[in-house]
Amino acid sequence: MYSKSKKQFFDWRNFFRSTHRTALAITVAVGMAMFIGSQAVANVLVLSDARIVNVELESVSTPKNILIDTDSGTISLITPAGEPIPEGAEVIDATGKFVVPGLINGHWHYEPFPDVFGSPESRTIADLQRKTDKLILRYGFTTVMDNGSDPAGTLFITNLNREGTLRGPEVHSAGDAFVPHPDGTPVFLRPLVLRDPATPEEISAFISEDSINFPDELFYGVKLFVGSPQQEPPGGLMLMDIDIVMAAVQTAHGLGKRVFAHPQGQLGAAIAVDGGVDHFTHLIGLDDPQNKALYEQMVANGISLNPTLTLFQALDITEGETGILAKVQEELRFFLDIGGTVIFGNDVFSDEVFNRTGDPRREYELMKEAGMSAFEILRSITVVPRAFIEGIDPVGMPPLIRVGAPADLVVLSSDPTLDAVNLTTVEVVVGKGRILWTPELDTTIGGMF
């Protein structure tokens, strides 16, 4: 359980008069004095005595104090534990705890079924907060990559997050998805009807119009169901024309956006790769497990993917596709071994429809079973998706927890470098310098909605 306190108050003038401090301590004190002199101390949040997990260097620090400027939402100073903390600061005692960068769920859907159970705008703030606490914040996610939802609803929720009405994550969305023509909406999304452009010119016009209607800082991508499963015939599959895929990629890239592909098996994956997409929202599920050339092409083209292993496990259980989980776990390990880029994502959306809790524990366990190390999983849920969002190479990135960086931080009670499942031991979530979640703030504890 997390605790807040006011502690280690210090007379800064006497500190500066001291002649017995080391040069390092003097440097830290000068930085602290400049920090305090530049703002009201009431706007300082401190995570004290925390061990920082450096995902980039695969190391864990000695206990540190992390000072956060809540006005700018950034980390202002990191000092050794035991160093003075400014009087009046809000202090969260993280003794014996571990701090990791804010987690990023790379496969999320805010509202894929607005016509089925009502749009977010029709809900109360309390209802939206319960859903946000239940599916996102309690698991340490400070950012979600929305892989396709009603754009108006997503924008509505994001604006509530930004204005502080809702405690919620940073959101990056692919907006409304496109499907094969004609009427190629996947069977699992009906009765929703998605856009089915018939020509390259039509999809280019749709993407350009979306870029005008919705802000680029939120809608950073385009989602294509390159392969779309159908009810009739049973096991049927509609495929998007490669000329339409290529037109979508050309238009989206011209606008600075990424293209996400739902591959739906080997045929859809081949079109997506040849069409030039940037990211697969699932593993492929190869028809021939020995034919891994598609994954080699993905690595050569720099295409990343979300494993979504819990989804494949559900297919094993509910649809009788026996063995598909083991097959895609093998594909995941192969993809990593040849240098593939993996972004964590467990395909969470409206649990009212699929009875999901949002709990990523099982996804961590299945990734571990596939041979991923704790640090590989940590990179897939922090460094790699952050680099993808910012359009930079994750290799050589500066640490996400550093002075001047956005204060997206998660306090854990257990060491995630020993076992990635410990990422579920969340005690405090900080997003852009704001406390987003603690057990005391959680609106779902004591009764799930």
Of the given ranges (119-133, 323-337, 397-411), which has the lowest mean pLDDT?
119-133
23 against 141, higher pLDDT? 141
The CATH number of the domain holding residue 76 is 2.30.40.10
Percent of the chain with pLDDT over 70: 83
130 against 66, higher pLDDT? 66
User: CA-CA-CA-CA torsion for 158, 255, 225, 169, nearest 10 degrees?
Assistant: -20
For residues 214 and 121, membership in a common domain is answered with yes
How crowded is the C-beta side of 146, counted as CA atoms within 13 Å?
Answer: 30
pLDDT of residue 287 exceeding 90, the answer is no
Does residue 447 belong to any structural domain of this protein?
Answer: no
Residue owning tokens 């998007």: 240
Does residue 444 belong to any structural domain of this protein?
Answer: no
Q: pLDDT category, 112, cuts 50, 70, 90?
A: low
Burial of 399 (0-12, 13-18, 19+ CB in 10 A): middle
Q: Chain centroid to CA 216: how far?
A: 18
Please give the pLDDT value at position 216.
85
Summarize the confidence of residues 254-268 as an average pLDDT: 95
pLDDT of residue 243 exceeding 60, the answer is yes
For residues 266 and 166, membership in a common domain is answered with yes
| Phi, psi of 266, rounded to the nearest 5 degrees | -65, -40
For residues 119 and 25, membership in a common domain is answered with no
Q: pLDDT category, 10, cuts 50, 70, 90?
A: very low
How confident is the model over 381-407, as pLDDT tens digits?
A: 999 999 999 999 998 889 999 999 999
* C-alpha Rg value of the chain to the nearest Å: 23
For residues 140 and 269, membership in a common domain is answered with yes
Please give the pLDDT value at position 109.
85
Q: pLDDT category, 221, cuts 50, 70, 90?
A: very high
For residues 314 and 421, membership in a common domain is answered with no
For residues 221 and 360, membership in a common domain is answered with yes
For residues 117 and 82, membership in a common domain is answered with no
How confident is the model over 329-383, as pLDDT tens digits?
A: 999 999 999 999 999 998 875 444 444 567 899 999 999 999 999 999 999 999 9
How confident is the model over 75-111, as pLDDT tens digits?
A: 999 999 999 999 999 999 999 999 999 999 999 887 6
Does residue 187 belong to any structural domain of this protein?
Answer: yes
pLDDT of residue 37 exceeding 80, the answer is no
Please give the pLDDT value at position 416.
98
Task: Record the pTM.
Answer: 0.88
- CA dist., res. 48 & res. 46, Å (int): 6
Please give the pLDDT value at position 110.
79
Q: Is the dihedral of CA 341, 317, 114, 138 positive or negative?
A: negative
pLDDT of residue 198 exceeding 90, the answer is yes
pLDDT of residue 277 exceeding 50, the answer is yes
Please give the pLDDT value at position 408.
98
Domain that includes residue 354, residue range: 103-390
Does residue 445 belong to any structural domain of this protein?
Answer: no
222 against 32, higher pLDDT? 222
Summarize the confidence of residues 16-36 as an average pLDDT: 42
For residues 184 and 292, membership in a common domain is answered with yes
pLDDT of residue 47 exceeding 60, the answer is yes
User: By the 8 A CB rule, do 120 and 157 touch?
Assistant: yes
Please give the pLDDT value at position 121.
59
Tokens encoding 280:
């697969």
Does residue 232 belong to any structural domain of this protein?
Answer: yes
For residues 147 and 176, membership in a common domain is answered with yes
Q: Print burial letters for 258-290: b (CB count within 10 Å at least 16), e (below 16).
A: bbbbbbbbeebbbbbbebbbbbbbbbbbbeeee
pLDDT of residue 30 exceeding 70, the answer is no
For residues 57 and 168, membership in a common domain is answered with no
For residues 80 and 131, membership in a common domain is answered with no
Does residue 312 belong to any structural domain of this protein?
Answer: yes
The CATH number of the domain holding residue 163 is 3.20.20.140
Burial of 9 (0-12, 13-18, 19+ CB in 10 A): exposed
Does residue 395 belong to any structural domain of this protein?
Answer: no
For residues 135 and 80, membership in a common domain is answered with no
Overall domain count for the chain = 2
Please give the pLDDT value at position 120.
62
Of the given ranges (134-148, 389-403, 433-447), which has the lowest mean pLDDT?
433-447
Does residue 370 belong to any structural domain of this protein?
Answer: yes
